[in-house]
């Protein structure tokens, strides 16, 4: 798909057309107040609520589209972004994109995995070994940092079966639950990169209308990500109980305290960013909280 690169006052965001990041990315952007009208080929979504459009592409294409100026931002795995940036630097090219925000979904890690029968004693065991991977730049960088000379076997898919086929001694691959590795008699032994979905953008700052749009979108994204697991906690307690109650809210922002009817009784309101389980509520009640209420947070803007 070719698109002309022209000056524009609309923001263009590239996301996966399909794959594990596609639906969460669209849901997160929609929670920021964005809505779109899809083209017939389902490759372009025209922003209706705001002048922010979506480009639906393969995730591997997103960093290059940012580098070429075809799109302004992209939702992509950190693993893909770092692999392509490392490869650019290895070729002597300047970085053309960067991570702007972690987005809190699509978590996984790039890890070395060895056959179950190996007794892992450290990176020194890798000298002279063949390592299969779809992330050769990141693996080469890690090996150089470790001072290890090993052969990198680059594969585009089915990396985990390479040892069974005799193509490699071990693998360097993305690990989520670890079930795929276990099914192929492999075990993870070292992590090269912790990954998740990130918002990526160009190294250079935006100008004009797109700068204002990008700043607004980042504010909304920050609020949406923070409220994903946030709850508003409200209760009343005697003033003397507050010192025992506050340590039970380590994930809360500074609470608001209001005196109730001129008595020695306070109403507390706190925004909590962790899980408010039944056990936590019971602990708060035992410490003196009364009338506990937990409310969902629809949206938040700092």
What is the strand order of the sheet 130-133 is part of? 151-154, 130-133, 170-175, 108-115, 186-195
Q: Please state, for a pLDDT cut of 70, what percent of the chain lies above it.
A: 96
- The token pair at 38 is 């899809």
Q: What is the pLDDT of residues 6-32, one digit of tens each?
A: 457 889 999 999 889 999 999 999 989
Contact 282, 225 (CB under 8 A): no
First-to-final CA distance of the chain: 38
Q: What is the pLDDT of residues 68-87, one digit of tens each?
A: 999 999 999 999 999 999 99
Element housing 65 (H / E): helix 62-67
Give the model's pLDDT for residue 3: 41
Give the model's pLDDT for residue 22: 93
Domains along the chain with CATH numbers: 11-106+197-227 (3.40.190.10), 108-194 (3.40.190.10), 231-296 (3.30.70.120)
């Amino acid at each position: 798909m070719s698109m002309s690169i022209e000056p524009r006052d609309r923001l263009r965001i590239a996301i996966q057309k399909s794959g594990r990041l596609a639906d969460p990315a669209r849901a997160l952007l929609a929670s920021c107040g964005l809505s779109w009208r899809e083209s017939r080929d389902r490759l372009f979504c025209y922003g209706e609520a705001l002048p922010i459009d979506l480009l639906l592409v393969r995730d591997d294409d997103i960093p290059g589209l940012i580098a070429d100026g075809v799109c302004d931002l992209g939702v992509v795995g950190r693993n893909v972004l770092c692999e392509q940036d490392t490869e650019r630097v290895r070729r002597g090219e300047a970085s053309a994109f960067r991570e702007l925000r972690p987005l809190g979904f699509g978590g996984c890690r790039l890890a070395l995995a060895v056959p179950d029968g190996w007794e892992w004693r450290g990176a020194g065991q890798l000298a002279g070994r063949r390592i299969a991977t779809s992330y050769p730049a990141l693996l080469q960088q890690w090996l150089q940092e470790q001072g290890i000379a090993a052969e990198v076997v680059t594969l585009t898919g089915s990396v985990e079966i390479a040892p069974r086929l005799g193509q490699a001694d071990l693998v360097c691959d993305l690990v989520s639950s670890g079930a795929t590795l276990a099914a192929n008699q492999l075990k993870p032994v070292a992590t090269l990169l912790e990954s998740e979905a990130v918002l990526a953008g160009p190294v250079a700052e935006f100008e004009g209308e797109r700068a204002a749009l990008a700043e607004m979108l980042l504010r909304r994204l920050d609020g949406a990500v923070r409220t994903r697991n946030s709850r508003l906690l409200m209760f009343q307690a005697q003033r003397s109980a507050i010192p025992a109650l506050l340590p039970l809210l380590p994930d809360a922002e500074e609470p608001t305290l209001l005196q109730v009817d001129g008595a020695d009784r306070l109403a507390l309101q706190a925004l909590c960013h962790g899980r408010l389980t039944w056990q936590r509520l019971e602990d708060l009640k035992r410490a003196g909280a009364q009338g506990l209420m937990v409310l969902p947070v629809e949206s938040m803007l700092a």
